[in-house]
């Protein structure tokens, strides 16, 4: 799922291409992508884009007349910028927003259709999409600490909870916790003040650093390689590969459709965290430390 750095890059490139441009036509190719009926999507046609913003992991197009087009890419949704006249691709194409400058395609890989488009009227109607998460890049250490400890979740869950923090998902939470040298399973209220300060700094460093890195890699081209698995990440998606800091094989915990990647030496004092499936299967044979694996 595109997270804060990816959404920030999308917004930068969309601003150059569609801000102050009229939305000439909206083409909906999948009946599942449009989740609102009032006002009808045709009301957005002919209206100029007067603003762009991020709400969590959503991208909001502010249109003339107090209309707001809200797009959530979910896990497999992506934007593609194509020349004027381009039609949505057959299997992947969900919708097309046609501008004088080009066509913004919304595509989604896989068979599940989770990406969504809403058209709403008035700023009050935007509140339904606001999960209330703290904008970490605009926060100080004190507000970060208050939000982190407002609920006693594990650090992994806290960072990825959109009600607590805005725009952070599975990938960058792994990178943040590795940078902070903290276990993903540590409970938030058990952290010392110094550890919270370190986590706040790591969160800002990872998010700001990846925005800059993605910006430099993309240049003036529209972002095409938006993925949760990037070359240069320390632990996310790097199971069994060496940690860039200590060389220890990266470990993982798998659950539902997600997984957590971490370095046992850098983050958990050498202790292996229990994988719900494998640790139950192996029971007494489940290794307790990274030394038993190496």
Q: What is the CATH number of the domain that holds 195?
A: 1.10.8.50
Q: Which of 69, 79, 76 is nearest to 35 (CA)?
A: 69
Tell me the torsion sign for CA atoms 262, 203, 14, 123: positive
How many CB atoms lie under 10 A from the CB of residue 244? 15
CB 19 within 8 A of CB 52: yes
Q: Output the six-digit token pair for 104.
A: 């913004």
The arithmetic mean of pLDDT across residues 161-184, rounded, is 97
Q: Which of 129, 49, 149, 159 is nearest to 97 (CA)?
A: 49
Domain end residue (candidates: 101, 129, 157) = 129
What pLDDT was estimated at residue 287?
Answer: 46
Tell me the torsion sign for CA atoms 19, 26, 76, 71: positive
d(CA 151, CA 90): 45
Residue matched to tokens 């009227």: 121
What pLDDT was estimated at residue 290?
Answer: 56
Q: Output the six-digit token pair for 264.
A: 């046992």
- C-alpha distances (whole Å) from 19 to each of 23, 62, 150 are 10, 9, 38
How many CB atoms lie under 10 A from the CB of residue 236? 24
How many domains, in total, are found in the chain?
2
Please state, rounded to an integer, the average pLDDT across all residues of the chain: 92
What pLDDT was estimated at residue 286?
Answer: 39
pLDDT class for 283, splitting at 50, 70, 90? very low
What pLDDT was estimated at residue 113?
Answer: 86
Q: CATH no. for residue 8?
A: 3.20.190.10
Q: Which of 126, 124, 145, 125 is nearest to 134 (CA)?
A: 145
Residues 112 and 145 in one domain: no
> What is the 3-class SS of the chain, one letter each residue?
CCCHHHHHHHHHHHHHHHCCCECCEEEECCCCCECCCCCCHHHHCCCEEEEEEEECCEEEEEEHHHEEEEEECCCCEEEEEECCCCCCCCCCEEEEEEECCEEEEEEECCCCCCCEEEEEECHHHHHHHCCCCECHHHCCHHHHHHHHCCCCCEHHHHHHCCCCECCCCHHHHHHHHHHHCCCCCCEHHHCCHHHHHHHHHHHHHHHHHHHHHHHHHHCCCCCCCCCCCCCCCCCCCCECCECCCCCCEEEEEEECCEEEEECHHHHCCCECCCCHHHHHHHHHHCCCEHHHHC
What pLDDT was estimated at residue 288?
Answer: 52
Cα 283 to its chain centre, rounded Å, is 35
Residues 92 and 158 in one domain: no
Residue 231 has pLDDT above 70, yes or no: yes
Residues 145 and 209 in one domain: yes
Residues 116 and 220 in one domain: no
Residues 222 and 260 in one domain: yes
Residues 171 and 282 in one domain: yes
Domain end residue (candidates: 95, 129, 163) = 129
Residues 109 and 163 in one domain: no
Residues 140 and 273 in one domain: yes
- 119-171 pLDDT tens trace: 999 999 999 999 999 999 999 999 999 999 999 999 999 999 999 999 999 99
Residues 240 and 99 in one domain: no
d(CA 120, CA 139): 29
Residues 60 and 189 in one domain: no
What pLDDT was estimated at residue 278?
Answer: 45
Question: Domain range spanning residue 146?
Answer: 136-293
Residues 148 and 34 in one domain: no
Residues 185 and 289 in one domain: yes
């Amino acid at each position: 799922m595109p997270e804060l750095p990816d959404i920030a890059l999308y917004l930068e490139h969309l601003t150059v291409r569609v801000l102050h441009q009229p939305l000439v036509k909206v083409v909906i190719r999948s009946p599942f992508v449009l989740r609102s009926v009032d006002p009808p999507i045709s009301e957005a046609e002919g209206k100029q884009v007067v603003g762009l913003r991020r709400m969590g992991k959503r991208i909001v197009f502010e249109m003339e007349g107090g209309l707001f087009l809200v797009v959530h890419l979910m896990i497999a949704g992506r934007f593609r910028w194509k020349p004027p006249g381009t039609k949505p691709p057959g299997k992947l194409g969900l919708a097309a927003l046609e501008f004088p400058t080009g066509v913004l395609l919304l595509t989604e890989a896989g068979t599940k259709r989770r990406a969504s488009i809403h058209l709403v009227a008035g700023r009050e109607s935007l509140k339904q999409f606001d999960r209330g998460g703290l904008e970490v890049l605009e926060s100080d250490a004190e507000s970060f600490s208050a939000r982190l400890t407002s609920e006693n979740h594990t650090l992994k869950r806290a960072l990825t909870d959109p009600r607590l923090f805005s725009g952070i998902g599975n990938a960058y939470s792994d990178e943040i916790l590795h940078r902070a040298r903290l276990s993903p399973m540590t409970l938030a209220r058990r952290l010392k003040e110094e550890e919270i300060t370190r986590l706040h700094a790591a969160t800002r460093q990872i998010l700001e650093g990846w925005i800059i890195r993605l910006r430099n890699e993309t240049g003036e081209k529209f972002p095409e390689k938006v993925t949760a698995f990037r070359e240069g990440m320390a632990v996310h998606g790097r199971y069994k590969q060496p940690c860039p800091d200590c060389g220890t094989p990266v470990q993982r915990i798998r659950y539902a459709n997600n997984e957590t990647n971490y370095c046992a030496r850098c983050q958990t004092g050498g202790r292996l965290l229990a994988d719900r499936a494998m640790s139950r299967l192996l029971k007494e044979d489940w290794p307790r430390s990274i030394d038993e694996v190496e």
